[in-house]
A and B are shown apart, each in its own frame.
Chain A
Amino acid sequence: MFYSLALSIMLSGFWLVNSGHYNPLMLFFMLVSVLFVVFLCHRMDVIDGESQPLNLTFTIPTYWLWLAKEVVLANIAVARNVWQGPESISPMLVYVKAGQKTDLGMVIYANSITLTPGTITIDQQGKQLTVHALTREMAADMLKGEMDRRVSRVEG
């Protein structure tokens, strides 16, 4: 019930931001469509803490800021590799262990790796992620495991 309410509020917010038409008829349509989507999600049995990760609400913004900084730095590094040509890269496969407890935490970790240019998660078996890194330095950074620790902290 709590998660259904949270989903309704989020969907209404999404509708209000995207619409721009606020007369009673349109708001009535919003109500109908939000209720219909919540009903569909309920039937699909996807309304739970995994699709509505509310426990991350306060911990994830700081992580996003840190991730944005990392993405900018990695972009500059990869751009340099592009202009220096294919001789400057040294692709490596890195096998890292994800230290997160939940599936959601692992998804956040694997997706953060992929979002950062220069490293891509290409496979996952159990808790082991296979990461393709563009250079040796990026592989070494990956092994330091700072991102892993930060995601584990976000997960709480």
Chain B
Amino acid sequence: MAILIDIISWILLLAGSFFCFTGGVGLLRFPDFFSRIHAASLTDTLGAGLILIGLMFQAGWGLVLPKLILILLFSAITGTTASHAMAKAALKSGLQPQVVGSVKSESGGAPSNS
């Protein structure tokens, strides 16, 4: 049983590390600021998430488990807020995103191209 938990935990930790690494590679490879933020959000979400879940398996039932859950919750909320703040600051200071086009939808449901 203990070995099974160890295996699951290691798979999660390695998968998380892979996403963190991928996020780092994307940060270097993507062309402009806004597309780089997308790469960084890989590290934020599944990267950190899988590592924390892997650590939860290592921690077992105890006080450490709820703390890890809280870290997951707070990192999810603060990570998005920070990404948004950065993107908005870049936009407001005049950095235009390199895009291939833009679309607009009036209502949530019916898309219309412009």
Contacts and interface: CB of A to CB of B under 8 A. Distances in A.
Contacts of B19: 75, 79
Interface residues of B, number: 48
Interface of B is mostly: helix
B41 A120 contact: yes
Nearest to B92: A123
Interface in A1-27: 14, 17-18, 20
A97 B112 CA distance: 12
B38 A123 contact: no
A92 interface: yes
B72 to A, nearest CB: 11
A62 B107 CA distance: 24
Given A71-B45, A71-B46, A134-B35, A120 B87 contact: yes
Contact of B99 (A82, A92, A97): A92
Interface of B: 19, 22-23, 25-26, 29-32, 34-35, 37-39, 41-42, 45-46, 49, 63, 66-67, 70, 76-77, 79-81, 83-84, 87-88, 90-91, 97-109, 111
19 contacts: A17-B63, A78-B26, A82-B29, A82-B30, A85-B29, A91-B98, A92-B99, A93-B103, A97-B107, A111-B77, A115-B41, A115-B76, A117-B41, A120-B83, A120-B84, A122-B97, A132-B99, A139-B103, A143-B103
